[in-house]
Structure 1
Amino acid sequence: MSNKFKPTTKILITLVFLIILTSGYFGSIALAEGGEDYRIFLRYADSTVTETSWEPTKSWIIYKGRPATHEERYRVIPCVVRMPDGTIIALVEPGGSKPIFIRSTDGAKTWSKPYQGILLENVKTVSTLGVRCDGRLMAVSEKPMRLIYSSDQGRTWEMGSEIASSPMNSAWVWTGGRILELDDGTLVVPVAGYLQAGWLSSGVLISNDDGKNWNFSIIGYGNPSNMMIFSEPAVAKMDNGGLVALMRTEDRVSELVPGEPRGERTGLYRANSWDGGKTWSSPVETLTGSHCSVVQLPDGILLCGYHRSPRLALSSDSGRSWYANMLWITKKPRADWGWYTSVEVVDQTTALVLIKEMQTPNTIQACLLYRQPQHSP
């Protein structure tokens, strides 16, 4: 039989055959950008996960503090929680001895005037928030770290038990790493600090006796062997009993070994726990960004807010993959205009996202996400 195809034609036929073969084996990937500037989706065409659509609203300003100098650029950072009665409490100026709060009683559509929290004896700061099952606000006061509580939506704070962080040295919490109380009463406090000098690690401090005793569980271990550091952990509890943690990472290879290809590793890494935070899976890269906050929505979808540029990502498989990665609806959505995101559930079909502006660091913007009805095929 004579060969009737030219060499270039043979190559094209071979490439087409390989594409068909590999797409059937690995699955096809459809990467598409919508007509609107604020929307980017990454979807796997043969994915079996349920991809619920949550649509963001246009953002608006909910808080503007007094003007901030460059040295004060971290004074305003949001942390938002939902109380059992549906009231939304936002800590807008954490740290220091004069924390500032705002609250909403109508599903985050309107907000109260700012009010200052009064710190009672031995309470020094309010660094991050959580909600106890009994309806109290809880937070962490630092130096030393201890639990603190408020029964009046943040207006007054009283001292709780001290948080022992051994073996982690110089342990600290950050505003996006909200405290959790699990269904069995276990308290989970995300922390970062040093297990080895010069190498930041992240983990959780766990108490099974209302804060009297604490155990440390490592999530991301920074050390010379992996040449990475892990910080700013955010943890969310899921309906299936698991926990998901996202951590900011930074590669130290390029600093120590110029030209080393591993020096490009960065972004958010994910780990999961199925035993209440006692043990965790090995961290794996998941999203490109930093300063994240994560929460599970009522339909089981994870919502993650992060920045560079500010984005809102959705996952239906405990953070293993993210099927939507949306930009905010704002004037210049692709610009690096905001950071320090905080996400929270409002009700069965509504979620809330707060973010700090970068150029005007005394300002916090918000947007709502609404769950869209699912249409039958």
Structure 2
Amino acid sequence: MSGRRLHSLAAWLAMTGGGLGIVLAFYVAAHAWEHSRLPFPANLGNARAAALLAQRPDPAERLKFAIVGDINNGVETFEAVIARLREEKDVSFLLLLGDCAADPNPHLHDYFVREFAETGLALPTFIVAGNHDVDAGKFDYTQFESLYGPANFSFRFHGDLFVGLGGLHTPQKRRETLAFLEHTLRDARPAVRRIYVFMHFAPTAASGIPTDGFDDSTEFQALLETYRVNYVFSGHYHRLARTEVNGVVYLVSGGGGARLRHDQFEDIGLFHHLTLIEAGNGVTSEHIIPIPPASLVAQGLEHHVERFALTVLVPAFGSAPLLCGLMGLAGTGALAWGVSVLWRQRRRGSRRPGRTHDRAPDARVPE
């Protein structure tokens, strides 16, 4: 390939890249501005949700609440889950089973909070910490509790006890959580009808739910059986699964948006979903609502560009205006250079004299 053609190719690439840079600058600026306008949701977090729930009257007949687990990178699917939830009536609260952030990073938690705010959901929303939500040195329990309220919590509603166990991901916190669970169950068991426990890991290696190295699992399981806990809801596995061990129902509901995984399960529960629980008249029923996953384009390209820009690039540059300004300048410069190169080449080509060819003289026929 000649030098002139290489120069032309570089110019076209610069124009294409420059145009994309300008578009991305406007795209990031629009999303950053939109996120900056969203306040922290007043209904998200364990202390906030408990305060809101305390203001609500107990349901006259049946209690109804929603469960969603493992959002991770699947924000578009999570938005579809919430849209479906908004169609339901008489839901008292929502409980998130952990891994709401893709990784234990303050910027990713902030991204999740803003995306949650965009849904406009007003239900009291509790959250337990998942292994992608907390990690010492990255986003520890102090930061988690500052943002979402206590990692371990309990509340009573409709004559039932609800216990959230988010402190499972460090040895010290796990021992505190075990003591919290025992104390809470011992004090409340005589006065409540049903007990529901929420945690990220399932504390059982029984048939139907594989183990994932959850330390102290047998001690947790012994407490659940001793105090006749009715249900344990967990996530971690990106799917749906259910089993019952010694009178305790273990329901895995990890289909809130994260990429589905086979793990060690059968394929029957491999779909995104919303879980609704209804309790009344001595009966607890489970309603599983399948949610179609977001398209590959939406779930992949658009979401990852937005998330990468807002959680990696913006923090690295210190502010969205600086990042977008530099992207816009770089894109404009590349576009202008490419246009100027092609214009000069075209101008030179138009000035180049045409080639002349020697032609044989006309043959003349003698008269």
Taking structure 2 as the reference length, what is the TM-score of the superposition? 0.27
Rg comparison, structure with higher value: 2
Say which structure is richer in strand: 1
Say which structure is richer in helix: 2
